[in-house]
Structure 1
Amino acid sequence: MATRALYNVRPDKSTSCIEERSPSMSGTRSAIQNRKRHREAVVTSIKGPVAFMHPADIGRLVVKSSRRRGARLRPNYAAGEDGVDVVKVLMATDHLITFEAFRPKGAIDTTHQHPDHHSMVYQKQGRVRMRIGGKAFIVEAGDSYFHPMGVVHQHEALEDSVRIETKIYPAGGAIASWNRLVSASD
Structure 2
Amino acid sequence: MIQTNAHPENAGPETRRDFLYYATGGAAAVATGAAIWPLIDSMNPSADVSALSVAQVDLEGVEPGSRITLKWKGKPVFIDHRPEARIAQARADDEATLIDPELDAERVQKAEWLIVVGVCTHLGCIPLGQGSGDPTGEYGGWFCPCHGSHYDTSGRIRKGPAPRNLDVPPYEFVTSTLVKIG
TM-score normalised to structure 2 length: 0.29
Choose between structure 1 and 2 for higher RCO, CA contacts under 8 A separated by at least 6 residues.
1
Higher strand share: 1
Q: Which structure would you say has the larger Rg?
A: 2
